[in-house]
Structure 1
């Protein structure tokens, strides 16, 4: 399977403007720029897109792993907090913290923690990122 995302940029780093799109059309020419990335202005930024991708990937991976264990979630909600730090040689994504709230009938906390950790370690986006990825998982 292959898919893609794309970006278009015009101008300098601070005064320039860009647009990000996905092949599926889920995001079409969504604006991004310096202000949306570093100043909290409207628009998106690569870090929040990575966070959304990681949250989605991890949650789907956990669904698969739960199924293999004979469990099915009523609901799982995952947030991925992505840390972008300024280093001596530029910027780097240095960490991702996953927060999961889940309702899974028949799951005990020990098994839930084991399966959530397995999903964190093995989802494709976790494997892609060269960052410290942490997880807080709560069974409701």
Structure 2
């Protein structure tokens, strides 16, 4: 088992508030996010962007493993995960994560590549999380 973490701080209301995101590794340290960076294209990050990066990274690593098990090694793989956030009747919802992959893999044909990529998408822990039950422990201090 492996555990890591990310954290967020927030001060203020939804539109005037400001947040900061930090990762255990320090890749992000008090990196700003807020309403403007999430919905108005202003500088800063947002949760959907971070989910997209995590999804692309996880999927690409999973595919690397599956390719190796099948006797292939990628020279290059570039993956993008586009996360769609929509306002539905019950509020904002992530309705889609769309992976786009371009790869250079010697000796593989398109059919085998698509088969292994599909296997990687189903086995990727972040793909599974996007479909998983979420639990929450919440406590006021």
TM-score, normalised via structure 1 length: 0.92
Deviations, residues 57-109 of structure 1 (Å, cap 9, x unaligned)? 00000000000000000000000000001011111101000000000001111
Instruction: Give the count of matched residue pairs.
Output: 131
Q: Which residue of 2 aligns with 1:93?
A: 94
| Poorly superposed stretches of 4+, deviation over 3 Å | none
Q: Which residue of 2 aligns with 1:34?
A: 35
Alpha-carbon separation, structure 1, partners of 2:45 and 2:131 = 22
Name the SS for the 1:67 alignment partner.
helix
Identify the structure with the greater strand proportion. 1
Alpha-carbon separation, structure 2, partners of 1:27 and 1:72 = 31
Could you tell me which runs of 5 or more consecutive residues in structure 1 were left unpaired when the two chains were aligned.
132-140
Alpha-carbon separation, structure 2, partners of 1:130 and 1:67 = 26
* CA-based RMSD: 0.9
Could you tell me which runs of 5 or more consecutive residues in structure 2 were left unpaired when the two chains were aligned.
133-141
Q: Which residue of 1 aligns with 2:128?
A: 127
Q: Which residue of 2 aligns with 1:134?
A: none
Q: Which residue of 1 aligns with 2:12?
A: 11
Name the SS for the 1:106 alignment partner.
coil
Q: Aligned runs of 1:49-68 on 2, under 5 Å?
A: 49-68=50-69
Alpha-carbon separation, structure 1, partners of 2:94 and 2:82 = 11
Alpha-carbon separation, structure 1, partners of 2:66 and 2:104 = 15
Aligned-residue offset at 1:128: 0.6
Name the SS for the 1:50 alignment partner.
helix
Aligned-residue offset at 1:119: 0.4
